[in-house]
Each structure stands twice: as C-alpha cells, then as structure tokens.
Amino acid sequence: MKARFRSVTASVLLVAAGMLSASVMAALPLADSQGVAMPTLAPMIEKAAPAVVNISTRGRVRVEDNPLFQDPFFRRFFGAPDMPRERLTQSLGSGVVVDAAKGYVLTNNHVVDKADEITVTLRDGRSLSAKLIGADPEADVAVIQIPAQNLSALPLADSTRLRVGDFVVAIGNPFGLGQTVTSGIVSALGRTGLGIEGYENFIQTDASINPGNSGGALVNLRGELVGVNTAILAPGGGNVGIGFAIPSNMAHDIMRQLVTYGEVKRGQLGVVMQDLTPDLAKAFNIKGQSGAVVAKVLKGSPADKAGLAAGDVVTTVNGNPVRGAADLRNVVGLLRVGEKVALGVLRDGNPHTINVLIAQASQAKVDMGRVQPRLAGATLGMIEEGSPLYGRIEGMVVLDVESGSRAWDAGLRKDDIIQSINRLPVRTVDELKRAVKASERRLLLAVRRGRSGMFLVIQ
C-alpha cells in the first residue's frame, strides 16, 4: 500500500571515520566529546533546521450523508436529527522556506488542500498566518507565503547531480512531535509509476519519514535542499524505510509557475508514449539506448504539426536524456506554454532532431445538465495528457458530481471514468453528447473506478 506521510522517527548516522572520503569529512565537522573526535551532522543541521517549518491547517469539508436524511418527511417521521452538512478538518505537516526575502515556503499540496486557515510555526517559536500562493495537485506541490521577517532559507541544490548512495537528512514534523531529524542515503532515483501523483520522478530514501513529514526538507550534507518529502511505501501502515521526495529542481520549476501564474500551465505534446523495452529496442534495431516510444500521435496536436510519427523513439529533450515515457511526460508537463523544445528522435535507426512548439493542455468540460437533464449536477471532461490513464483508457472523466443529484444518487463519483452510455462508446465530447441524446428513458453507464468496473443506471 502506498501512503502519504506526515511524520518522521529519530535515527542516528554513525559512520566510521576511515570509511569517509575527504569531501565527506569536510561536510561532517568533528565534535570533541570527552576528548574523542567523532563525526557529527550537528553544525549543518543547526544551520539548515531554522528554514524548516511546521504547518497546521483548519478547514471545512462537505459531509456526504445518506440521501434519506435530506428528505424532510423521513426526518420528521423517524425523528432523525438535523445532520451537519460540513465538518471541521485539521492537519499537520511541514514546509521549507526557500525565499527569505519574500517569505515563500514550499510544501505539499495535500498538506494545505482545502484549508481555510494555514498557520506556520518557526523553529524559534513564532506562529505566523500564511496565505496560499498556488498549488499543483498533479505533482503535489504548493507554495505558501509568510511575513518575511528574520527568516532563514535553504539553498537549492541541483538534484540532477544526486547519486544513489549519497547521504541525506530528512527534517520535518512527525506526528506533531515538533521538528525532528533523521538520516539515511539516496536509495534510488527517478522512481515513477507508483500511482501516488500524476507527475512522478521521486527520490527514494531510507531516511525515516512518517506522517507529519509531508512537505519537509530532504537535504544533502552541505545543508542544501535536494528534495521535498512527500510519501512513503507502508504495507503495514508504518515506515519500512522506503520514502519518496520530489526533486528540488522539479519543485522549483513548479514553484516559479505557481508564483507567476498561481497555477501550473502544463504543456501538451499530443502523443501516447510507452517505455523502450529491450524487445522493442531489438525490433527497432536500436542498441544501447533508453527512451520513450511514440505509440500514437493525436491529430492536430503540436507533435503532429511538427512531424513526429508513431514508431519514433524520443531519446533526448533539449539535449537531456530521456529514460522512459514517464520521464518524457514529466519534462514536457513542466515546460512553459509557447516554448520550443528540441526532441532527439531515432526513426528507422537514424537520428533526427524535431522542434516542437509546446501548446497548453486543455481539458474540455461539459456541464451535463445542459445536455441531458437526468445528468444535471455532473461535470465531465477529457482525460488529460498528464494523467497515468492517458492513452490507456478510453472514456470521459467525472470532474465533479453535486451531492443529491440523480447522478450522485445513482452512485457516480468524482474521478470515475465513463466508458460508455447505453453501450455507446464515449471517447470524445461529441460522442458523449450523441450517446445521452439517443436515450429517452434511462441511462446505462459503464464506469471504471480505480481498477474495477461497474454499471450504473440513472432513471
């Protein structure tokens, strides 16, 4: 089971002096304890820790009650009490000050999601009200701002220079205990396909991460931010030494867009991609290459206009290597709309460079009440290119369903994928409209929810 986390447990890094290189020894100043020289992380942590903050939030969420309780006759006849339509929520997490002059704090979207009040507590005990600058749910990154008074900020490292085996330290607020430090190494890089976020390129670490550490700092031995702690793999519900952090380069790129636009304006290439496997590489007569295979090019898309074709293998983006389909999706998704990107492509074994003008990813939204009254309250849209389901599942995604509507009472929920209506496929907005208009009595919806499928009937 993959779980988001919001905490950390304590651990100690004890490394024999003889096993450390000169550069690492320089990063671990010696502390004289009882006349014995011992390596310690304390000087680095003392410098970095003031930039890591605790975040607490308060908010309200709508309560999904039984439709019977919305019937006044039922409530009066059975003496049912008035049910609260909202409930208060509270959460704890962590954040990292990355701009002391402007008071910008990086954290996770799920830490501040649906929050009406955000309070930041600094290490010196100050509690400050924060405002949300912007959030990106797809990558689980958010930027909040606090008054810029006597703040400490963490410098950002180039996360592309991380190597498996590098020592790292996680700083955060586990279980609401207060600031806690744990240590470990980089266990793996470029982790994708976990299903945690829409855009994944995680640093994996064995530094202890637990509930409450979300949004906290992963730093190197120079005290530089290399990642924002985000999730853990928790088969038994607790930490097992597999934690994930968003690389600092990715978080910073998203932050710049959130500060500038208040949202991330994701680019669109317009292709369906898959990893270049050894079997595919052999079939394409490609040796010693990694990349992403173009399985399909959408008509009229930027890729189509630039001349990209199915069967092309994308190996580089602006000269940077592409390891697989997820890697390419992440890179394109973080490019700004209107940018030109140079794709290094192998076609029939021959190298080519194809320049593509990135367009904004658009999601057509349909208010179904205007198309079919029985679906009033439901809003549907296309599956976006950044979604893990893009190119794999055909259908329309449910963007929102109003509680108490016919669609809601029938069981339709947000994020469901409607694949057909009355056995007619609904892959586009036009097909969706034709399918619902062709029905006069009832709607039979074939729905995919997670990994399961079901039929729903709306009378």
Q: Domain boundary residue among 237, 264, 291?
A: 264
Go through the chain and tell me how many residues it has. Answer: 459
pLDDT exceeds cutoff 70 at 77: no
112, 220: one domain: yes
Say which range, 24-38, 215-229, 239-253, has the weakest mean pLDDT: 24-38
Residue-level pLDDT at 185: 94
Task: Give the pLDDT mean for 69-97.
Answer: 65
- The model's confidence at residue 198, banded by pLDDT at 50, 70 and 90, is low
Average pLDDT, the chain: 79
pLDDT at position 438, please?
65
Q: Is 253 a catalytic residue?
A: no
- Which of these ranges, 222-231, 320-329, 386-395, has the smallest mean pLDDT? 386-395
Q: Does 33 map to a domain?
A: no
Do 309 and 422 have their domain in common? no
Judge whether 214 counts as a catalytic residue.
Answer: yes
Q: What is the pLDDT of residue 171?
A: 92
Asked if pLDDT for residue 85 goes beyond 70, the answer is no
Tell me the pLDDT band of 21, cut-offs 50, 70 and 90.
very low
Condensed to tens digits (0 to 9), the pLDDT of residues 44-62 reads 999 999 999 999 888 776 5
Query: Within this chain, do residues 202 and 311 fall inside the same structural domain, yes or no?
Result: no
Split into its structural domains, the chain has a count of: 3
Is the residue at 28 inside a domain? no
Active-site entry in 140, 312, 327, 416: 140
- pLDDT tens column, 155-187: 999 998 999 999 999 998 887 777 889 999 999
Residue corresponding to tokens 């450390």: 20
- Highest-pLDDT range among 21-35, 113-127, 255-269, 394-408: 113-127
Domain CATH code at residue 103: 2.40.10.120
Average pLDDT of the residues in 376-398: 75
CB within 8 Å of 345: residues ≥ 6 apart: 308, 312, 313, 314, 315, 351, 352, 353, 354
Q: How far apart are CA 323 and CA 316, in angstroms?
A: 9
pLDDT at 383: 74
C-alpha 424/C-alpha 320 separation (Å) is 43
Q: Does position 188 have pLDDT exceeding 50, yes or no?
A: yes
Task: Show which of 264, 293, 327 is a domain's final residue.
Answer: 264
Q: Are residues 63 and 209 in the same domain?
A: yes
Given a cut of 50, whether residue 7 has pLDDT beyond it is no
- Average pLDDT score over residue span 318-334: 80
Confidence of residue 20 (pLDDT cuts 50, 70, 90): very low
The CATH number linked to 437 is: 2.30.42.10
Q: Residues 256, 338: one domain?
A: no
Q: At residue 22, does pLDDT exceed 80?
A: no
In a domain, 191, yes or no: yes
The top-scoring range by mean pLDDT among 108-122, 272-286, 419-433 is 108-122
Task: Please indicate, yes or no, whether residues 62 and 202 belong to a single structural domain of this protein.
Answer: yes
The mean pLDDT of 126-148, rounded to a whole number, is 90
Between 60-69, 231-240, 284-293, the lowest mean confidence (pLDDT) is in 60-69
Give CA separation, 394 vs 263, 284, 317, 368, 389, in Å: 27, 27, 28, 19, 9
Q: Do 50 and 164 belong to one domain?
A: yes
Residue 23 lies in a domain: no
Residues 93, 210: Cα–Cα separation, whole Å: 10
In a domain, residue 221? The reply is: yes
Please tell me whether the overall predicted TM-score, pTM, comes out greater than 0.85 for this model. Answer: no
- In whole angstroms, give the CA distance from residue 10 to residue 12: 7
3 state SS of 311 = coil
- 260 and 389 in a single domain? The answer is no
Would residue 22 count as lying in a domain? no
**99 an active-site residue?**
no
For the CA atoms of the chain, what is the radius of gyration?
A: 25
213 and 336 in a single domain? The answer is no
Residue 60 and residue 163 in one domain: yes
- Which tokens is 284 given? 């394409």
The model's pLDDT over 327-343, given as tens digits with 9 standing for 90+, comes to: 787 777 777 777 788 99
Q: Which pLDDT does position 11 carry in this prediction? A: 31
With a cut of 70, say whether residue 349 has pLDDT above it. yes
- Give the burial class of 32: count Cβ atoms within 10 A of its Cβ; 0-12 exposed, 13-18 middle, 19 or more buried: exposed
Confidence at 402, pLDDT banded by 50, 70, 90: confident
| Same domain, residue pair 339 and 372 | no
Q: What is the pLDDT of residue 92?
A: 83
pLDDT of residue 14: 30
The answer to whether position 386 is within a domain reads yes
Last residue of a domain, one of 304, 329, 360: 360
pLDDT of residue 247: 93
For the ranges 155-164, 198-207, 230-239, 376-385, the maximum mean pLDDT occurs at 155-164
The reply to whether 31 falls in a domain is no
**Catalytic, out of 56, 91, 94, 110:** 110
Domain range enclosing 445: 365-458
**Same domain for 47 and 107:** yes
